[in-house]
Amino acid sequence: MQRVKIKELLGNTTAMDKVLVKGWVRTRRDSKTFSFMELNDGSCLKNIQVIADVSLDNYAEVVKLTTGSAICVEGRLVASPGKGQKWEIHADHMDIISMAPEDYPLQKKRHSDEFLRTIAHLRPRTNKYGAMFRIRSEMALAIHQFYREKGFRYLHAPVITGSDCEGAGEMFRVTNLDLAGVATSGKMDPSDDFFGQEANLTVSGQLSAEMFALSLGDVYTFGPTFRAENSNTSRHVAEFWMLEPEMAFCDLDGNMDHGEELIKYLTRHAMEQCEEDLSLFTKFVDKGLSNVLSVLVNEPYERITYAQAVDILLKSGKRFEYKVESGIDLQSEHERFLAEVYFKKPVFLTHYPKTIKPFYMRVNDDNETVAAVDLLVPRIGEIIGGSQREERLDVLENRMNEMNLPGEAYWWYLDSRRFGSVPHSGFGMGFERFLMLITGVTNIRDVVPFPRTPGSIDF
Ligand code: 4AD
Ligand code: MG
């Protein structure tokens, strides 16, 4: 007989004489002649109730089943007289696949997020983290669906790279350990990074995406990205997933239109396709979340310049920890104030001073600002960072000189401005920050299966 997943069973419209389910026991309670189990198989948030009675040949074993034990049940799917569940299974036969010992850490009680982080290998078995990681899976696929519908091509940008896209020097170095060589010579050869060349883990796939946008038109990359910033914040991890669309013949306004359409599409998708899992977060994690979601899909996003933003912050009368003055790199407290308190919705900031932005951003006519854009959202701050790119070879070369970037190392990048250069734009959206936004989860460690932060590399 074929096994059926619980998600499918719960959606059934008729009773069934014979079903086969496999899963893990969440709880068990006994009456005189029955044992009632809540069974979960990870396919959905809900459990199905399984009822075993004394007629089972291994009933004596069944009543010893502990939380976390795995079983295989053959039985009948019947309408449940109980409240809150449509179906239950009356077991005709039950195999105990494995019995969890009493020290299984996920006994039925509330566990703190801090505690669950210490058992990242087990936490997806809880309701909250099961829901989180089903949503994460669905949203990753929704990104591909969005871009497929729009006719974008999916680019696999390299993870190992010689360049530093953001120029912030926050890269992890890749080393060819060559353990056999170390054993014979007794020392590591520092010149032997990537077969003799310096190499890093990518901080952004953008430069590769630009090359492909100038070839295939509209592309996106979506993959793991690495930052060696040693910052212990609730919004940074050393390894995260970034979505990076890059569009030829697209200016800054087109870039913002695209970002807004993307966030609206993904949020709506989550509300429709992850309704049950998302309800756990709207009910138990963040009471204001439903309102945030509704603003995200229904309201037009605000668009202002960096200078206007600084003005608003200065006039707000609010005392920020990090003092506001023109030219500063806005901190998350400033970003949150703008999106959460002042506008109460997502806000795009453009025209940042060129002094705080990377080399590839298009210089504006004032020669002071660049065609940068960040999208700031309530509760998070920056979720998207992007720009129109500098397509003019001479301006780009001047800027690189100003910033002491070696033109030789970027010869291939400059080629794209030499041969058929066109205006183009793109951005990066932090996938984890998006998940925080739609679930109301406030610590980025809780939206990543196995978060990579200083001190967490065990799992
Ligand atoms: O603003 P960033 O640094 O932009 C870039 O890397 C551009 N090259 C992207 C592009 O134009 N193609 O990063 C983009 C986004 C941020 O807005 C943030 O959401 C996320 O990536 N991000 C992080 N998320 C988690 N942990 C970190 N350490 C992050 N650093 C950036
Ligand atoms: Mg940024």
Q: What is the pLDDT of residues 373-385, one digit of tens each?
A: 999 999 999 999 9
Task: Measure the CA–CA gap between 200 and 159, rounded to whole angstroms.
Answer: 8
Closest CA to ligand 1's atom 2: 385
Average pLDDT over residues 210-223: 98
Ligand 1 in reach of 357 Cβ (< 6 A): no
Cα(99)–Cα(251) distance, rounded to whole angstroms?
60
Query: Which ligand has its closest atom nearest to the C-alpha of 433?
Result: 1
Instruction: Summarize pLDDT for 309-335 with one digit per residue, the tens.
Output: 999 999 999 999 999 999 999 999 999
The whole-number pLDDT of residue 233 equals: 92
Q: Which atom of ligand 1 is nearest to the CA of 229?
A: 28
pLDDT of residue 459: 82
| Whole-number average pLDDT of the chain | 94
Cβ(383) to ligand 1 under 6 A?
yes
Residues 46-82: tens digit of each pLDDT: 999 999 999 999 999 999 999 999 999 999 999 998 8
Q: pLDDT at residue 14 above 80?
A: yes
Residue 245 has pLDDT above 60, yes or no: yes
Instruction: Report how far apart, in Å, the C-alpha atoms of 382 and of each of 143, 320, 437 are.
Output: 19, 17, 11
What's the rounded Cα separation, in Å, for the pair 318 and 295? 25
| pLDDT value of residue 260 | 98
With a 6 Å cutoff on the Cβ, whether 386 touches ligand 1 is: yes
Pocket test for ligand 1, best of 231, 242, 432, 442 (most atoms within 8 A of CB): 242
Residue recorded with tokens 């701050």: 381
Percentage of the chain beyond pLDDT 90 is: 87
pLDDT at 407: 83
d(CA 126, CA 138): 18
Q: Is pLDDT at 445 greater than 90 in this prediction? A: yes
pLDDT of 249-306, one tens digit each? 999 999 999 999 999 999 999 999 999 999 999 999 999 999 999 999 999 999 999 9
Question: From the CA of 88, how far away is ligand 1's center (Å)?
Answer: 47
Q: How many residues does the chain have?
A: 459
Hey, what CATH topology would domain 123-157+205-222+231-446 get? Answer: BirA Bifunctional Protein; domain 2 (3.30.930)
For the cut 60, the answer to whether the pLDDT of residue 451 exceeds it is yes
Verify whether ligand 1 is closer than 6 Å to residue 240 (CB atom). Answer: yes
- With helix as H, strand as E and coil as C, how does 422-453 read? CCEEEEEEEHHHHHHHHHCCCCHHHCCCCCCE
Q: What is the pLDDT of residue 145?
A: 98
- Whether 182 shows a pLDDT value over 70: the answer reads no
User: What pLDDT, on a 0 to 100 scale, did the predictor assign at position 400?
Assistant: 95
The residue-averaged pLDDT of 103-119 equals: 94
- For ligand 1, say whether the CB of 373 is within 6 Å of any of its atoms: no
pLDDT given at position 56: 96
pLDDT tops 60 at residue 190: no
* Ligand 1 atom showing the smallest separation from residue 231 Cα: 28
Closest by alpha carbon to 291, among 440, 142, 432, 127?
A: 440
Nearest Cα residue to atom 23 of ligand 1: 430
Determine which residue's CA is closest to atom 25 belonging to ligand 1: 236
Atom of ligand 1 at shortest distance to CA of 227?
Answer: 28
CATH fold of the domain at 6-98: OB fold (Dihydrolipoamide Acetyltransferase, E2P) (2.40.50)
What residues have CB less than 8 Å from 163, skipping those under 6 apart? 207, 409, 410, 413
pLDDT score, position 185: 67
Is 205 a pocket residue for ligand 1 (Cβ < 6 Å)? no
Tell me, what's the pLDDT at 360?
97
Say yes or no to pLDDT of 387 above 90. yes
Q: Is 377:338 a contact under the CB 8 Å cutoff?
A: no
418 pLDDT band, cuts 50/70/90, is very high
Q: Which ligand is closest to the CA of 426, given by its number? A: 1
Does ligand 1 have an atom closer than 6 angstroms to the CB of 210? no
Q: What pairs with residue 428 in β-bridges? A: 385
- Is the pLDDT at 409 greater than 80, yes or no? yes
**Is residue 192's pLDDT more than 90?**
no
CA distances from 253 to 162, 250, 258, 388 (A): 31, 8, 9, 9
pLDDT at residue 149, rounded to an integer:
98
Kindly report the backbone phi and psi dihedral angles of residue 310, in degrees, each rounded to the nearest multiple of 5, phi listed first. -60, -40
Q: Name the band, by pLDDT with cuts 50, 70 and 90, for residue 211.
A: very high
**Ligand 1 atom closest to Cα of residue 433:** 19
Distance of CA 194 to the CA centre of its chain: 29
Q: Tell me what pLDDT residue 179 has.
A: 64
Q: Is the distance from CB of 449 to CB of 120 less than 8 angstroms?
A: yes
The residue ranges of every structural domain in the chain are: 6-98, 123-157+205-222+231-446
Please, which residues have CB within 8 angstroms of residue 181's CB and are 6 or more apart in sequence? 189, 192
